[in-house]
Amino acid sequence: MIRLMFLSSVLVTTVLGACASDEMSAPSVTDAPGGTEAAPAPEVADTAEDPGDASQDGAAGETHDVDPGPSDASDPGPSDASDPGDVAPAPPRVALETSLGTIVLALDATAAPSHVANFLAYVDAGFYDDTLFHRVLTGSLVQGGRMGSDGVDKAPSAPVANESDNGLRNVRGTLAAARKQDPDSATSQFFINVADNTYLDFPNQGGSGYTVFGRVAEGLDVVDAIAAVTVNSSVRPTDNVVLVRASRR
């Protein structure tokens, strides 16, 4: 009897340990052909300073028969209102025209200047035109920027340094850079978070998270539609989802 109770206790401990191990392992997001990469943040505010109303001081004093001379009114001088020309420029925007609709991205060049410059360089070069959303983790994220619609991997440019400690988080609707295990290996691949994936934030993932550098400004329903497509065992859509064209807005 004692022996049976001991064996039962060992079995329960083993099962619980296995479950705990499964929970701790997180899906990864990849950049390498055939590999898997480990992979919405506070919204990027489109704020502009209100110039307000300039206040002007002083009315002219009484006038008499004598020449009153220069007016006693205070010279209002330069307006205290903010010059509209000083308003911070709106964040750069990029439209992704896909086979399922258009997604508009607002990029945060203040929080992630290197990643935004890198992404825009690919956009301006036409790199993303006629490419695939090649990886879909249902309920988690959609990923693109790796291969053409013919299924052939494209050659990216040099990688950029990790900027994941910028305070932006991998929450629903945010845009982030895919990479390999090396934190400074992000190139052309990107992903859009369909859910809150905060386990990808800095300082998780070995001390370096996945850099968020923008958000979906329009077309989150299109992202959800991509995330809902049927995928094969390699989490690639069985019917191609094509990024037809990427361009600045």
How far is residue 138's CA from residue 227's CA, in Å, rounded to a whole number? 5
Residue 54 within a domain: no
Range of the structural domain that residue 183 is part of: 28-42+89-248
Residue 240, Cβ density class (10 Å: 0-12 exposed, 13-18 middle, ≥19 buried) = middle
The number of residues making up the chain comes to 249
- CA-nearest of 166, 189, 212, 233 to 40 is 212
Residue 68 within a domain: no
Tell me what pLDDT residue 83 has.
Answer: 58
Tell me what pLDDT residue 26 has.
Answer: 37
Whole-model pTM: value is: 0.69
Residue 190 within a domain: yes
Query: Residue 182 is part of a domain; what is its CATH number?
Result: 2.40.100.10
Contact in structure between 99 and 244 (CB atoms under 8 Å): yes
Provide the token pair at 246: 């990427």
Tell me what pLDDT residue 68 has.
Answer: 44
Task: Looking at 96-242, list the stretches that DSSP marks H as alpha helix, in order from N- to C-terminal side.
Answer: 113-124, 220-227
Question: How many domains are there within the chain?
Answer: 1
Tell me what pLDDT residue 82 has.
Answer: 52
**pLDDT tens, residue order, the chain (249 aa):** 444 343 344 333 333 343 333 333 334 544 443 444 444 333 333 333 333 333 333 333 333 344 444 445 445 454 445 555 667 788 999 999 999 999 999 999 999 999 999 999 999 999 999 999 999 999 999 999 999 999 999 999 999 999 999 999 999 999 999 999 999 999 999 999 999 999 999 999 888 999 999 999 999 999 999 999 999 999 999 999 999 999 999
Residue 187 within a domain: yes
Residue 133 within a domain: yes
Residue 66 within a domain: no
Residue 60 within a domain: no
Residue 67 within a domain: no
Contact in structure between 114 and 161 (CB atoms under 8 Å): yes
* Backbone conformation region of residue 100, classed left if phi is above 0, alpha if psi is from -120 to 50, else beta: alpha
Contact in structure between 203 and 183 (CB atoms under 8 Å): no
Q: How many helices (H) and strands (E) does the chain have?
A: 3, 9
> Dihedrals φ, ψ of 136, to 5°?
-130, 115
How far is residue 193's CA from residue 178's CA, in Å, rounded to a whole number? 11
